[in-house]
Structure 1
């Protein structure tokens, strides 16, 4: 089995039992540029002068790149992937061979945002728009950059998928934007399931519930429809005080006061209250705090907890809520929950399913489950080759 997927904004390939990373040239070049800038300006944030003025920063040894891979697909033996860097987005195509460093640009723009996409028989359905709150379905034939938008309006359409059963039909999720008095998006409606007939230009919603999101809709050649169903907006931690918060309240107040006092003494007195410390805020710790939570389609994942469980080699099941389920809907309308706690999935031509639970990739064959590989937060699963 050969497949590719994204994990924490990197692309990985599994060929049999071997796992390797496919380099993203665009991200690597961007990272090299940032590293060059960091080296040239490093003197501003190091040394005693920087410590005294409070602008000193710790360097963790790796340049942090604000990049995201928006999607993957296979097209005529090539891999297509989308990259978002700051305010620009681009589509590239390249070989599945990691040693082949050649990649070609398909489409790029500072006024374009890409979501996920899917290719079938040389055509690509892609979610794109002028801003991330208004993505619409468009079709194109890569490597050509021209595209035609099929949907519009004050809405967001995501996860397009070419039907494998109905010719020229594209499935996708759709939600309307709710705006405040200033015109900003204040809320998004529940995501319904819809499809559009490319030949006739007709759109139809067929999955809808006021308390439910329907995501990543696909079908197989047998006419079965699959989708991920979750509570509207995903699951969040409930706000409010816990009993442990009350017990720790005095400690947290004292810790905060001491931290503030230590910073003042270091900056204005030149000496820290703590031995072996410069007394200034740690950039590394601040960065770690800001990355404790990962939000995927409204669901909050505790990144710090996940990392600790991985270090301890613990397997607590899916990282996604069990209320997020993969559903199979047959031609007669009957529905079956295939698996709970599903992050993403891919359909195989012979009826098998590859599922990501956020910790590993699993091959489903009826009631049988086989672990393919450990894969942290694996998404955008693409079959490069699957012998039936």
Structure 2
């Protein structure tokens, strides 16, 4: 039977209930934040208009009036189903983040928690213990695993340290335990994060109060771990890439030789800015060319844009993979050899009947327990996929 799924694309939430058409869900809270910000922006612009008219030339004022109004970035960063048919999702804006619950049947949104201290992502709900597991990310660069009661006040961190802990998933069956991915981070002398170790998979057992490493590979990142009803471990494996670049004398020499040209370019852009402000015209015709920032998406810490996706394209012509073949969905038993299930996998989820649903960024596929595969839909810049039915 075709599963009901939800997926995120460019921070927006879409529902696909079995054979029904795709439906976009908009956050009422996000719309309220955007409307309030636009109202404040217009009020402030009206107050400053008299001062600006006295200080700036008419051409510059006319150009500013033609600029579009700034909007607040509102994005849904994560979602998961709850036991009562509602969807739980993490919402992010420029200044705050929170957890919300949405009832698809009644089109009602309830706010469970929000704050400006940290961001929340990677939600997963356990109906047995009425707990939400999630990731809390702080401005210092660290991310912890946290839990929150479905009717609780705020998430409570259960891991700590100078590390990046992400993507918790409750383990089905008896007991209280979850799996997550973790990587140690390295800092420079100023205290800023400059590099990290490969992600490995940890198991946190609440009953035994113990943390056990389930899988690790010094050459690979192991992402998004889940334990299926079959007791096997599933995860995405991709090649590890360090952010630390080795010293190169030729790169240093190149940077030194380019200093005069970069300085001249900066001076030209400064003069070009004043020319546009006071005459309404740039210094060169090339300055009138409009550039459009390409759409991009952040997946497991990597920014993907149309430019760096070109060399990764493979698969179906109308749904090419946005990640390379080396991003593999694998399955392994305890201390077993990983079995590759699919290539070019950006995100996946497991159904209770053993069905695997995954996306390559352009389409969503299902692998059924009998081995048959089916393409469920084609989309654009799909960031994650979630199964929302339990049968």
TM-score interval (norm. to shorter): 0.7 to 0.9
Query: 2:73 and 2:152 mapped to 1: Cα distance?
Result: 28
Question: What is residue 252 of structure 1 aligned with on the other side?
Answer: none
Unaligned runs of 5+ in 2: 252-264, 311-315
Contact 2:12-2:24 within 8 A present in 1 as well: yes
Indicate whether 1:210 and 2:218 are aligned: yes
Distance 1:26 1:314 in 2: 38
Map of 1:1-388 to 2, 5 A cutoff?
Answer: 1-15=3-17, 16-40=19-43, 49=57, 51-52=59-60, 56=64, 58-59=66-67, 64-76=71-83, 77-97=85-105, 100=107, 102-121=108-127, 122-131=130-139, 133-165=141-173, 167-233=175-241, 265-269=275-279, 271=281, 282=290, 285=291, 288-289=292-293, 291=294, 293-303=296-306, 315=318, 317-331=320-334, 333-365=336-368, 367-387=371-391
How far apart, in 2, do the equivalents of 1:147 and 1:260 lie?
47
Greater displacement, 131-140 / 263-272: 263-272
| d(CA) in 2 for partners of 1:55, 1:190 | 49
Count of aligned positions: 364
CA shift, 1:264, in A, is 5.6
Residue 297 of structure 1: CA displacement? 2.5
Query: Take 2:330 and 2:235, find their aligned partners in 1: how far apart are those partners?
Result: 5
TM-score after normalising by structure 1: 0.80
CA distance in 1, matches of 2:319, 2:242: 20
Unaligned runs of 5+ in 1: 242-254, 308-312
Structure 1 residues 182, 327: closer, same or farther in 2, change over 3 A? same
TM-superposed deviation, 1:325? 0.8
- 1:287-313: CA deviations, max 9, x gaps? x33x45544234442236879xxxxx9
Tell me the TM-score normalized by structure 2: 0.79
Q: CA deviation at 1:94?
A: 2.1
- In 2, are the aligned partners of 1:134 and 1:154 still within 8 Å (CA)? yes
Mean Cα displacement is larger for which, 319-328 or 357-366?
357-366
Kindly indicate whether the alpha-carbon contact (under 8 Å) linking 1:9 and 1:69 is maintained by their aligned counterparts in 2.
Answer: yes
* Structure 1 pair 271–11 and aligned structure 2 pair: CA distance change class (3 A): closer
1:55/1:3 Cα in 2 relative to 1: closer, same or farther (>3 Å)?
Answer: same
Distance in 2, Cα, partners of 1:356 & 1:149: 30
Q: Distance in 1 between matches of 2:212 and 2:335?
A: 18
